[in-house]
Amino acid sequence: MSIRSWLKRRRLDDQDFDEEVRAHLAIAADERVADGEDRQSARLASLKDFGNVALTTESVRRVWTPWWLAALHDQMSDVRYAIRALAKNPVFSLTVVGVLTLGIALNAAVFTMLKGLALSPIAGVERSAALAVIFGETSSGRQLPISYPAYQYIRDHDRAFSGLMGSSVASLGLGRGRSARPIWGELVTGNYFEILGVRAERGRTLLPSDEIAPGRHPVVVLSDGLWRRNYGADPDIVGKSIEINNYPLTVVGVADATFHGTTVVYDVEVYVPVMMAPDLGFKFGSQHTTPSEILSDPRATLFYPQGYLRPGTTIANAAAQADALGAQLSRERPLTDALQSLKVVPFWRTPGGAPMILLPTLMVLSAMGLLVLLIACANIAGLVLVRGMSRRGEIAVRLALGATRTRIVRLLIVENLVLALPGAILGVLLAQQGIPLLVGYAEGLSAPNRIFFNIGVDRLVLAFAALVACGSALVFGLVPALQSTQVDLVSVINADASPRGAARGRLRTGLVIAQVAVSLVLLVGAGLVTRSLEAARRTYPGFDRDHVTALALDVKQNGYDERSGRVFYRHLLDAARADRGIESASLALYNPLAFLETRTQRMAIEGYEPRRGEDLAFMSNIVSSDYFRTLRINLVAGREFEDRDDESAAPVAVVNQTLAQRFWGSAPNAIGKRIRAAEGDWRTVIGVAADVKYVRIDEAPRPYFYVPLLQSYRSNLILSTRGEAPVDRLVEQARARIAALDPDLPIVHAGTLAESTRGALMLFQLMATMLFLFGAAGMALAAIGTYGLVSYIVKQSTHEIGIRLALGATSRSVVLAFLARGARLGAIGAAIGVAAALGLTRLLGSALFGVSATDVLSFARALAIVLGIVIVATLVPAWRAARTDPLSALRHQ
Amino acid sequence: MTLHSSRPDARTDLLHGTLDMLILQTLQWGPQHGYAIGRTIRAQSSDVLQVEAGSLYPALQRLAKRGWVTSKWGQTEANQRAKFYRLTPEGKKQLLREESRWTELVNAISRIMKPGVMPATEE
């Protein structure tokens, strides 16, 4: 029975019973009147006979009250009492609520991110974490997307999935002319929306009938965000035509407002049938694949097919089936690429996906968050314990009056919950305010591309916060509560308040030791990551990122084909180089250190016989002449690309030092040797460039090679110019150059090379910021807690101090005695903390760079801070106690 | 011997049970309203048992909740509106159970209080 219907019934019953009472009184009075009494006194007498009407009504009502409600009613009186008791001690209550707020906020924030990445990664799709993903893997563990023909084969033959869809995220140009801008789009299969269960808010979604033949489905579904921002929520949007990559597509619908695409972190704004990929100028995979072939070429790897498994099918089952299917597939349609086997993984392990990249970091953060919460709990346990002391009198009286221990423990636990819940609520609010700040920071980094995190604070987060709050209330409340009830009635009532219960003392020293240990671990972690960040900042990445611009273009967004694109880029380079104050200018497919794991290609190397099953695959870049000069990458041997290395000349390449050394022994030896990428031509090595940090600052040296732009066209390139002028002016200058050549071409991104490398540091920075926050919070908590506990222990010993002083001890020796005690606790805690830190910092592994997990300086710093706090926490109250008059100290008790 | 209850007031079940039994017994002869039930119990016990309204009405509600009595508004002979309680078939069975339990209890107590004397069986 719901509470509402119960309340309604209760009201009706009350009325009914009122009437019954009235009838009772009337009949009783009538009887008395019949016996000869006068009406007035008869009425009074019958009322008197009846007794307490309100009490009776209450008893009648209770008969109908469900037992759990009655229990709740008792609980409420506990809550009321608890609130009164806590309000009497506002400093204690506010401290606890504040400490818990901090602890819960940090954990809720980390949990929210965890939820957005792994538990519910796709907004607007229920059970999105249950999606499974298929990818190909070569013998060396290289992970590859699946080509469209392979996808079709798997989709039609697989029995493990209830449906398989595919989507490939891409940067698209929306509109034409000055208003054109780059947006994220997904090229999707016809069953995409159906499998995800995403509805159209307006019009229709894409359907299997939108995946019949290449080029025959010029339709598009918009995101709710795009529809509102760009088209003012136009109610007649369906049927209108919009231009994407200079190609007209008809809007058939607007996707549900909660849906932001399946590419975690990307805010996808349009969904286009994969059949339109050739017409939008897409080219995946092989150098030789023309756009018209991307749907038929098995080398044109397109996406990672995904879907829900059939009920009862496990990932392992699906993986076994996919493996068999992969073998069958390579028999029926031999692949030229080294696709060896098909793998199935849960969605969060999508190769190259944001969850895969960010989860290890988040796990470390979660661990740190829990440590902070642990400190907070130890902290509060200390406070509760201390407060329990001062309430011993009250509790003893209650026990003496016949309250059961259960009843008192219950009351104390309710009190702790009353403290914990505001902490949970405030913590969630704090997290809710804080997360957008972090996201805003990430958005700033990725602008103008839109990103989206599924980080709303929802029921899951609230439940988590409530759970954490109740859990911590139990942790910090139960042990002290049990202890408080173990009072010796006689001793308390005899007002001998000397609190020297051995168990209590042990608990208190235990809490101090635990706090010291845990905060040491946190501080060591924070110190290590901070030092990693310093090291990462100091490391020379192999190129000079100052005074260089980086403007990303994609000429297919304004309808250029390869021929016109080449001409455009030729003119752009000439114009940029002719500009005043420009030292050099170049074009490249990728920026170095852009935090982007780019495609690797299978390599053949002259003079090197690969071992059986060895899958040599390296990353590469396509660059124009002057690239190495512009980025100031040293050439160790040979020459860099020049304008004569064009289509009519012999194919050439530049390799990096690591590649040259690995296969030919030295850089000069490499000149004149030949390499071949995938199914391409053999290229002669004409130069060897110094190693560069290609993806992330902490990567190990890896083989890498460069191919001249004139021999390998791409529509999306980055223009870099170097000059003496302030780099912002250089960016404006380059932007003006592009606009002068084609005012209608959208500039995907305009910025500096230094900015484009920030992403590689972002994880470090985020990690360091969070860890610093956690470390600082843990530190503050531990400082308050340790200080509170230690100084309380000292204060309780005022009596002892008095005796010592009276017996002739100097105040100095008293202080030293207490200092020795404090130092002993600190030392034990520190020893445990160091041991734990040595074990735990190993887990930081990937987050560390340039420092070892056992970095002495980080440990020393953390030790100094923690011990310093313990010493101050002992010294101050001990000093104060030693200066009191021994007589008053003795009289104190 | 106590009635099973999930409520914490199980201690008083013996008393409650006895009052419940008296009420059921009173209703055996036909529907009555609350005041009349109290009056009957008092009269039949020669003024020894005085049932207070504060016990009577919660007891009636308890019986109603268990389905042993039903209630209905009606008119007294004096043309007063009153709520009449009627024994249900289920309530009749319960009365028989209570009676035998009661007899057993009385016999047991009597054997303790007056050893050797066989107690008179009720009715």
What is the percent of chain A with per-residue pLDDT over 90, rounded to a whole number?
21
Handedness of CA A639, A643, A644, A650 (dihedral sign): positive
**Of A808, A848, A228, which is closest to residue A536 (Cα–Cα)?**
A848
Q: What is the CA radius of gyration of chain B?
A: 16
Q: A7-16, A78-87, B100-109 — which is least confidently predicted?
A: A7-16
Supply the mean pLDDT for chain B.
79
User: What residues in B contact A55, CB-CB < 8 Å?
Assistant: 54
pLDDT tens per residue across span A519-535? 888 888 888 878 887 88
Does residue A186 contact residue A262 with C-beta atoms inside 8 Å?
yes
C-beta atoms of A24 and B81 within 8 A: no
3-state secondary structure of B24: helix
3-state secondary structure of A550: strand
Q: Does A479 or A721 have the greater pLDDT score?
A: A721
C-beta atoms of A50 and B53 within 8 A: yes
Per the structure, how many domains does chain B have?
Answer: 1
- On the question of pLDDT at B5 being above 50, the answer is no
Domain assignment present for residue B1? The answer is: no
**Structural domain spans, chain A:** 3-65, 146-156+165-304, 360-433+457-538+761-891, 549-759
Q: Is B34 on the interface with A (CB under 8 A)?
A: yes
pLDDT tens per residue across span A175-207? 876 667 778 899 999 999 999 999 999 999 999
Tell me which DSSP letter residue A217 carries.
Answer: -
Handedness of CA A824, A826, A827, A828 (dihedral sign): positive
Q: Per mean pLDDT, which of A355-359, A834-838, A878-882 is the most reliable?
A: A834-838
- On the question of pLDDT at A53 being above 70, the answer is yes
- On the question of pLDDT at A705 being above 90, the answer is yes
Which of B6, B34, B78 is nearest residue A24 as measured by Cβ atoms? B34
Over residues A448-470, the mean pLDDT reads 77
Decide: residue B11, CB within 10 A, 0-12 exposed, 13-18 middle, 19+ buried: exposed
Q: A104-113, A273-282, A470-479, A484-493 — which is least confidently predicted?
A: A484-493
- A133 DSSP β-pair partners: A306, A345
What is the percent of chain A with per-residue pLDDT over 70, rounded to a whole number?
88
**Rounded to a whole number, what is the distance in Å from the CA of A24 to chain B's nearest CA?**
6
**Rounded to a whole number, what is the distance in Å from the CA of B116 to chain A's nearest CA?**
42
Phi, psi dihedral angles at A193 (to 5 degrees):
-70, -40
Dihedral Cα A60, A61, A65, A71, nearest 10 deg:
-100
Q: Is B53 on the interface with A (CB under 8 A)?
A: yes
Q: A48-52, A257-261, A442-446, A752-756 — which is least confidently predicted?
A: A442-446
- Alpha carbon A89 to its chain centroid, in Å, reads 38
Q: Is B79 on the interface with A (CB under 8 A)?
A: no
Domain assignment present for residue B24? The answer is: no
Q: Is A23 on the interface with B (CB under 8 A)?
A: yes
Q: CA nearest B63 in A: which residue?
A: A63
Which of B6, B61, B82 is nearest residue A63 as measured by Cβ atoms? B61
- Alpha carbon A765 to its chain centroid, in Å, reads 14
- Local confidence band at A608 (pLDDT 50, 70, 90 cut-offs): confident
User: CATH code at B43?
Assistant: 1.10.10.10
Structure ipTM: 0.80
pLDDT confidence of residue B13: 45
Give the domain extent around B101: 31-109
User: What residues in A contact B33, CB-CB < 8 Å?
Assistant: 23-24, 27
- Alpha carbon A716 to its chain centroid, in Å, reads 31
**Rounded to a whole number, what is the distance in Å from the CA of A58 to chain B's nearest CA?**
9
Over residues A782-802, the mean pLDDT reads 73
pLDDT tens per residue across span A803-849? 877 888 888 888 888 888 888 888 998 999 999 888 877 777 666 77
**Rounded to a whole number, what is the distance in Å from the CA of A474 to chain B's nearest CA?**
25
pLDDT confidence of residue A659: 92
- On the question of pLDDT at A706 being above 90, the answer is yes
pLDDT tens per residue across span A225-281? 999 988 888 889 999 999 888 889 999 999 999 898 888 878 899 999 998 888 887
Over residues A766-771, the mean pLDDT reads 72
Supply the mean pLDDT for chain A.
82
**Of B11, B27, B45, B38, which is closest to residue B86 (Cα–Cα)?**
B27
CA–CA separation, A752 and A288 (whole Å): 32
- Give the count of alpha carbons within 13 A of A155, CB side only: 21
- A548 DSSP β-pair partners: A722
Over residues A627-652, the mean pLDDT reads 92
Task: Give the burial string for A713-740 (b: 16+ CB within 10 Å, else e).
Answer: bbbbbbbbbbbeeebeebbebbeebbee
pLDDT confidence of residue A656: 93
- On the question of pLDDT at A447 being above 70, the answer is no
Domain assignment present for residue B72? The answer is: yes
